[in-house]
A and B are shown apart, each in its own frame.
Chain A
Amino acid sequence: MNNTSSHTDLILITCTLAAVALPLLAALVNFCLPVKSKAAGWVSTLAILISCVLAAKVFAGVWNNPQIHVKQVWFTIGHTKVYAGILLNNLSVLMLLLVSVIALPVHIYSTAYMKHDDRYSRYFTYLSFFCFSMLGLVVIDNLVLFYAFWELVGFSSYLLIGFWFTRDKAVQANKKAFIMNRIGDIGLLSAIIILFVQYRTFDIELLFAQKGLVVQSVVNNGLWNGPVGSLPAICQYIAVAGIVLAVAAKSAQFPLHTWLPDAMEGPTSVSALIHAATMVAAGVFLLGRVYPMFTGTELSILACIGCFTAFMAATIALTQNDLKRILAYSTISQLGYMILGMGVGAYSSSLFHLATHAFFKCLLFLVAGIVIHQMQHIKEDNHLDIDPQDISLMGGFRKKLPLTFIAAVIGGLALVGLPLTSGYLSKDGILIQAFEWSDGKDAWFSIIPVMALVTSWLTAFYVARLIFKVFFGDFRLTNAYPNLKLHVTDGGWPYKLPLVFLMLCCFFPLFSFNPIAYEHAWLFSGLKLPGFVIGESSYHLIIPVVVNVFSLLVIYLAYAIYVKQIAFSFPQTGFFYRLSYNQWYFDKIYKRIFVKPVLGLGKFLYWFDKNVIDGFIHLLAAIAGCIAGATAWIDKYLVDGFLHLMASTVQSIGNFARKFQSGKVQYYLFSMLAIVLALFILKILI
């Protein structure tokens, strides 16, 4: 405990810890339950409910109050002490509340949605584990643990995307998601390491506070001088790039966005919670945490990335036929807005949009879940071979699913950003501030806000297209199969309750009493950076009008095309259509540029290993073998040969002498005499 922690602080801290730990506890309990146990759903839901309440209490205690920061030594490595602690400020308590509040309806919804699954309790294990990771992520106070939760979030997302692991597409998707996230993780890890080396601490507050270490350091003469030490300036750029990479991976920004549409292979409730509302927003949250790292050019780059992603994803969403894919690209697009907001300095608007987006996107996904569920029923009841997510087969659900329809409309309007909805408040804020930002800059910086503007109209179009195709007109499947048995309903209260709750959260009163001006939203003002001044330009009036008028026009256009069937249709063979329909070919390009070369490199290196390194060893062995052979030959025929010669000489002498050793006395005598005689003769002759 570093500072004077009063009694209330202690309570808040305990509440926070409990809020974070309860889902983990639920996950552990569920892990021990039988696979099909229906109790699991209630365990998890109860846990998240309590978390939610505790989070609300913490929120109430901390919001707009001084931040609370406690930490304790986790372990010591060398002279460095690594701490673990909790940092509660406006941003973290907002996220804490947001995550638990979004998670609660999703949990309730899931109890019904996953009812018939074989691995019911596993689902809730994973879901609770995700909630734990996400809640931990938002309250943690140091970068090491932040990274840990950051990856745990990705891990639980991996588990949930691949929840139906017998589907090949699902496991491909979760692998892709994890690896792409890993790329971002590496960036984050590099950034953390660089920050650690530069400042010798992992503490987020010390690093990124108003007068934190990061703010105090300056780039000078190619050196990045901080209060503790200095590194080459390139390190700062690497750190920033690493964070951008991490954000791009987690929040599905260009160029690492391609995992998110694939991640839709997971259960829809998961998509609602993780891939629309919370986890993908973690990237934006990270940006919020480390915002002081970014200055000038870096922010512009961020804005470019966000803007481009928003635009690209919106264009792709125009032509997709998969219900969830449209929503996924819409999510990418909206996340692009948030990044754009961060880039243009609309820090609080960006986080505001994060919060509002969480509600309406979650709502839309839950709607999609219901629709898909019904389509699935139709498919199973009638033994059809169809894709239950294909919107070109749907239609006319307005009558059959009235509550769902209303929810979809409200969610859609919020997404488009029409007045009275929460989306209007946050999105227009970003747009207005983007225009303000580009004002003082070069002319072509204004491309960014203009593109953002265009994107918002595109958004209006695809949302309208989605709603019109799904809920208006006739049920198109009956055209192909006239004798369908249909039992389509909104479902029981576990479906309806979350929808209603989220619907209510999509309206302005939750965030602001003034439905028109975003500046007055309490959430916006609570997150304002110090020294932030709200501009007083004419944009505040022009932008909302332009955006909304055109949006309405676009919606009408969609209505004309899809409901009235006015003979106007896109050229489906055009370049732009194909580009959009094929999602700008990113997957193919990545596969060709990255995946194949990496695998190829792997194969090559294995070949290298087997043939060159091992080959070298074998060559050495062969050379040694040859030398050995040669020496063996020499040994056998020369050295040994010589020895054998000696030996055989001795042997033949021996054999010769042996003849005298015949055992015959006379022979011995003869030999003796012969020698004596020889001596005599010798004596005489000499």
Chain B
Amino acid sequence: MNILTLLIFIPVLFGFIIMLLPSSMRNSFKYITLAATLIQLGIAIWIYLNFKTGANYGGINHEDQFQFVQKIPWIGLNLGSLGKMQIDYFVGIDGISITLLVMTSLVMVIATLASWEIKSNLKGFFLLFLLLDMAVIGVFCALDFFLFYMFYELMLLPLYFLIGMWGGARREYAAIKFFLYTLFGSVFMLLVMVGLYLSVTDPVTGSHTFNIVQMMNPANYSAGSVFSLASHQTILGMPARTVGFVVLFIAFAIKVPVVPLHTWLPDAHVEAPTPVSIILAGILLKIGGYGIIRICIGIFPEVATAHAFWLGLLGVISILYGAFNALAQRDLKRMIAYSSVSHMGFVLLGIASQTAEGISGAVMQMVSHGFLSTMLFFLVGVIYNRVHDRDIYHFRGLGTLMPKYTAFVMIAFFASLGLPGFSAFVAEAFTLAGVFKSHTDNGLLPYWMAICGTVGILLGAAYFLWTLQRMFFGQESLKGGSVWKIALTDINLREKLTLAPLAIIALALGIMPSLVFDKINDSVLTLIQFLHLK
């Protein structure tokens, strides 16, 4: 049994158990889910520890350099004159995936712990939750575009229901907005996927293939096909490969999210229940970044290089725009949502730079933001659970009332605003270093983008500190008066146990960035080499 396959399908296995159990045992569901995610985490850590590094394990465009590979034919139809249809169940990981995989498994555990608050329709919730779990892990492992797309779409459905059924007051609006946005992206992705399929042939079997790794090799494109590098086909007067890249990019940019495709995010976050917010911010956004690295850049490297400036510009706009918006919020969760937009802008900026520092920084930022946003949303969930209010202006002086909570909030806030010692600092600093370096190294991004990025860091300090000052410091004064005062108890053991690992990991990654960088370095170098071969 392939360990990755096991990792992917363990949640489904437990999902079946939950499905078979009667609803009268609903109290056990959360423990079953927790067990599933813990086992998954265990496997992920095992994989992490056994992940081999070195120049021969770069991955990216070398199929033989992926690890824990399982490749079995899945759908093989002989279509006569149209050739043979070849879809493989093809999973494997390289440096880019491994860290995100571990991050995802851990965030899933946290999200399960955050699900304690869910009170209604537990069976449905946990079933959808586990389905979602499977899908996201699958996305990070899939190396067959069809498989990737399947997992990618499979993610959408549970999320839609999780937001739409367990969400806040405007949940339908948010769920539909989310669904339409992402569906919009993925529908076009489907077209490009089919186009790629028709263009690419497997050199071994001679049939068309969905294999992502083979899509990266220009030699595999049959002459005269739509996306062939040599034939310069056009779609609506634009080069076909540019169109393909842009379409794929939009699909993933919606996930990231990149301004101006971001407006689903604040709504979805605000309306979603805490565990879903955690998954959204912690994992889903990373799928966007991961997709851009693995698929957009991987399959259309020359387009990515030619249009790097625009990618970088979008990144910078996201950073600044998200930060300014966060500054204007009075809903705590919305503020954090906009801060996510800002932080994920660094990811795009780093990727656009196409330097080792930039891409490593981007991956680091994804991992770091995965943990930190999880922590932030969990913290918001804590306060929302107690008084069902999140308005920053309705709280004051929480520091006296909930000292431990405030301590965690401070850790999370300062880690997010890039305090050295925490992971975000390393990520952002090296992303910016890579961006600055790109002008001399490959001439893709101008210098001022790095400077604008630093301004984003400054604004990050402004909105986090302002919130801290407004909500947690000062004389105690609550909108809900004494009722709230009783309700606002300090965090309990479960919450502490949830938050502490996150804080520790954020700290550990900040002090020992090699935990991430060692694993990704070979892949990043391979990617850079691959990008600049073109």
Contacts of A605 in B (CB 8 A): 321, 324-325, 328
Question: Who on chain A is nearest to B425 by CB?
Answer: A148
Which B residues are CB-close (under 8 A) to A607?
328
- CB contacts (< 8 Å) of B476 on chain A: these are 166
What is the interface of chain B mostly: helix, strand, loop, or mixed?
helix
Stretch in contact with the other chain, from B39-47, B163-171, B456-464: B456-464
Q: Which residues of A contact B475 (CB under 8 A)?
A: 166, 168
> How close is B263's CB to chain A, nearest CB, in angstroms?
5
B328 touches A603 (CB 8 A): yes
Instruction: Tell which of A175-183, A365-373, A438-446 binds the partner.
Output: A175-183
Within 8 A of B (CB), among A215-243: 229, 231-232, 235, 238
Question: Please, how many angstroms separate the alpha-carbon atoms of A613 and B262 in the complex?
Answer: 9
Residue numbers in A under 8 Å from B513 (CB-CB): 74-75, 77
Nearest residue (CB) in B for A229 is B440
B414, A155: Cβ atoms under 8 Å?
Answer: yes
B514 sits at the interface (CB 8 A): yes
Verify if A601 is at the interface (C-beta below 8 Å from B): yes
Whether the pair A165, B399 counts as a contact (CB closer than 8 A) is: yes
B436 on the A face (CB < 8 A): yes
**Taking CB as reference atom, which chain A residue is nearest B418?**
A151
Stretch in B233-241, B269-277, B426-434, B495-503 touching the partner = B426-434
Contact B420 A147 (CB under 8 A): yes
A185 to B324, CA, bound (A): 19
Contact with B along A140-174 (1 / 0, CB 8 A): 00001001111110010000001001111011101
Q: Point out the residue from A35, A166, A168, A238 that lies within 8 Å of B399, measured CB to CB.
A: A166
Q: Is the CB of A182 within 8 A of B356?
A: no
Closest B residue to A165 by CB, please name it.
Answer: B473
Contact with A along B437-457 (1 / 0, CB 8 A): 100100000010011001101
- What number of A residues sit within 8 Å (CB to CB) of B? 57
Please tell me which stretch of A48-56, A189-197, A273-281, A474-482 contacts chain B, meaning at least 4 of its Cβ atoms lie within 8 angstroms of it.
A189-197
Q: Determine whether A76 belongs to the interface, using a CB cutoff of 8 Å to chain B.
A: yes
- Contact B419–A151 (Cβ < 8 Å): yes
Tell me whether A183 and B458 are in contact (CB under 8 A).
Answer: yes
**Binary interface encoding of chain B residues 515-534 relative to chain A, with 1 for a CB under 8 A from any of its CBs, else 0:** 00110010011001000000
Beyond A76-B517, A77-B357, A155-B414, whether A606 also contacts B325 by CB under 8 A is yes
Contact of A206 with B by CB under 8 A: no
Alpha-carbon distance between A162 and B468 when the two chains are bound, in angstroms: 11
Q: Is A602 an interface residue (CB 8 A)?
A: yes
Within 289-340 of B, Cβ neighbours of A (below 8 Å) are at 321, 324-329
User: Are B451 and A178 neighbours in the complex by a CB distance under 8 Å?
Assistant: no
Q: How large is the interface on B (under 10, 10 to 19, 20 to 34, 35 or more residues)?
A: 35 or more
CA distance A77 to B365 in the complex (A): 14
Q: Are B473 and A614 in touch, CB under 8 angstroms?
A: no
A617 at interface, CB cutoff 8 A: yes
**Contacts of A189 on B, CB cut-off 8 Å?**
429, 432, 454, 457
Task: Tell whether, in the assembled complex, residue B440 and residue A197 are in contact, meaning their CB atoms are under 8 Å apart.
Answer: yes
Asked whether B399 lies within 8 Å of A152 as measured between CB atoms, the reply is: no
A186 at the interface (CB under 8 A from B): yes
A609 adjacent to chain B (CB < 8 Å) = yes
Q: Contacts A162-B473, A186-B454; is A147 near B429 (CB within 8 Å)? A: yes
How far is B401's CA from A166's CA once the two chains are assembled, in angstroms?
11
Shortest distance in angstroms between A117's beta carbon and chain B's nearest beta carbon? 14
Report A427-471 residues with CB < 8 Å from chain B CB.
none
Residue of B nearest to A170 (CB): B473
Contact B458 A182 (CB under 8 A): yes
What's the least CB distance linking B94 to chain A, in Å?
16
B457→A182 contact, CB < 8 A: yes
4 tightest A-B CB contacts, nearest first: A78-B356, A148-B420, A602-B327, A606-B328
Given contacts A182-B457, A186-B458, 5 further A-B contacts (CB under 8 A): A74-B513, A166-B399, A179-B458, A229-B440, A235-B447
Interface positions of B (Cβ within 8 A of A): 177, 259-260, 262-263, 321, 324-329, 355-357, 360-361, 397, 399-400, 403, 414, 419-421, 425, 429-430, 432-433, 436-437, 440, 447, 450-451, 454-455, 457-459, 461-462, 465-466, 468-469, 472-476, 512-514, 517-518, 521, 524-525, 528
